[in-house]
Amino acid sequence: MSSNKLDQLKEMTLVVADTGDLDAIRSYQPTDATTNPSLLLQALALPAYQPLLRQAWEESQKTATPVYDCFAALLACQVQEQVPGYVSVEVDARTSFDQAASQQRARQLIDKIKNAGGDPERILIKLAATWEGIQAARVLEQEGIRCNLTLLFGFAQARACADAEVTLISPFVGRILDWHRAQQPDADFSGSKDPGVQSVRRIYTYYKERGYTTIVMGASFRNQGEIEALAGCDRLTIAPKLLASLQADSAPLERCLTADQPSQPREEPLTEAEFRLQLNADAMATEKLAEGIRRFIEDLEKLEAQITATCQ
């Protein structure tokens, strides 16, 4: 048996680093890495990224394109040098309800990554799992641009992503738990009782029973127990603090999820009206999706302001 839980997890689940910190990526040797505006904002303070700031600013001024796109593309190329698999790069969250704008910014990111020497085939474009984001992903996937649908909290979002044949979804485990804890502060949400864990297990089972190829990647973990309860999931994206916790734990890790052969017929794709009605009926998913978009926009605007203040 492997010496620690991180090594054991890697034997049953593809581990993804939820960070833009190159040192952390080198330390834990994940297969993939994910980034978003919040993580890029944190990365601004790291010395390794200072040269990228100036480069991104100069490119933005020269090409009249958003500085976020320039910085995100350059950072993605740096991260690609540290991992053999996918690097997720998020489209500007301000386009979350604009399908055409989401598609245009996604194509722009791919072009910038390619021009900077990165590999577009190993990029996942992250889009918020709004109706517009999911339909943008449907079009982009048909063009060969792989997508990661993020801020996924409700089952309707997961169904629509499968219907759109997106490459990967990121159900947010910890933020689901946050919402339920706020509603029921005295409830026991440990282990398999965690509503975020239950959500990912439901989605995973639904996909596998119906033969969907969309990858399920649990995200946004609050504690090690959530990760352990999803051992065996296709992918799990984990922050450095929890990667360190797993690496320091030498106890046995049991597989909790197994991909069975398809055994259920696929349902008819959700219409837009059905999607919106089902999402609206899920108060948690509706609130957390809206909150998540607001937070990404806030961090994106802070990131833009800091780059501008540093480079002007």
* 116-133: pLDDT as tens digits: 999 999 999 999 999 999
Print burial letters for 126-137: b (CB count within 10 Å at least 16), e (below 16).
bbbbbbbbbbbb
Quick one: angle between helices 131-142 and 99-115, nearest 10?
50
- How high does pLDDT run on average in the chain? 94
Digit-coded pLDDT (tens) for 194-240: 999 999 999 999 999 999 999 999 999 999 999 999 999 999 999 99
Which residues are known catalytic residues?
Answer: 126
Please give the full DSSP string across 247-310, using - where no structure is assigned.
Answer: HT--S--------PPP-SPPPPPPPHHHHHHHHHH-HHHHHHHHHHHHHHHHHHHHHHHHHHHH
Per DSSP, the three-state class of 141 is helix
The confidence band for 144, taking pLDDT boundaries of 50, 70 and 90, is very high
In this structure, of 76-80, 217-221, 227-231, 272-276, the range with the lowest mean pLDDT score is 76-80
R_g of the chain, CA atoms, integer Å:
19
Residue 259 vs residue 9, higher pLDDT: 9
Which of 108, 116, 153 is closest to 291 using CA atoms? 153
* DSSP state for residue 121 in the 8-state scheme: G
Q: Where are the domains of the chain?
A: 5-311
Contacts 24+ apart (CB under 8 A), 42-50: 43/75, 44/303, 44/306, 44/307, 46/21, 48/22, 48/23, 49/75
Q: What is the pLDDT of residue 24?
A: 84
- Asked if residue 105 has pLDDT above 80, the reply is yes
Q: What per-residue confidence (pLDDT) applies to 2?
A: 59
Give residue 86's pLDDT: 95
Q: Per-residue pLDDT tens for 21-45?
A: 778 888 888 889 888 888 788 777 7
Q: What does DSSP assign to residue 57?
A: H
The CA distance from 129 to 151, in Å, is: 6
Distance (Å) of CA 285 to CA 99, 171, 177, 205, 292: 20, 11, 11, 19, 10
- Per CATH, the homologous superfamily of domain 5-311 is Aldolase class I (3.20.20.70)
Ordered alpha helix ranges (H), the chain = 5-10, 22-28, 37-43, 50-63, 67-80, 99-115, 131-142, 155-163, 173-183, 195-210, 224-228, 240-247, 272-281, 283-311
pLDDT tier, 301 (very low <50, low <70, confident <90, very high otherwise): very high
Q: What is the mean pLDDT of residues 72-77?
A: 92
Q: Which two tokens stand for residue 159?
A: 């169904």
Residue with tokens 């926009």: 297
Nearest to 53 by CA among 312, 304, 307, 309: 307
Q: List the structure tokens of 167.
A: 């490459």
What pLDDT, on the 0 to 100 scale, is given for residue 265?
95
> Does 255 have pLDDT greater than 60?
yes
**What pLDDT, on a 0 to 100 scale, did the predictor assign at position 194?**
97
**Nearest alpha-carbon partner for 110 in 150, 131, 84, 80:** 80
Q: What is the pLDDT of residue 310?
A: 84
**Which band of pLDDT confidence, cut at 50, 70 and 90, is reported for residue 47?**
confident
Distance, C-alpha 238 to centroid of its chain: 10
In one-letter notation, the amino acid at residue 175 is R
Per-residue pLDDT at 49 = 78
Is the separation of the CB atoms in 2 and 8 below 8 Å?
A: yes
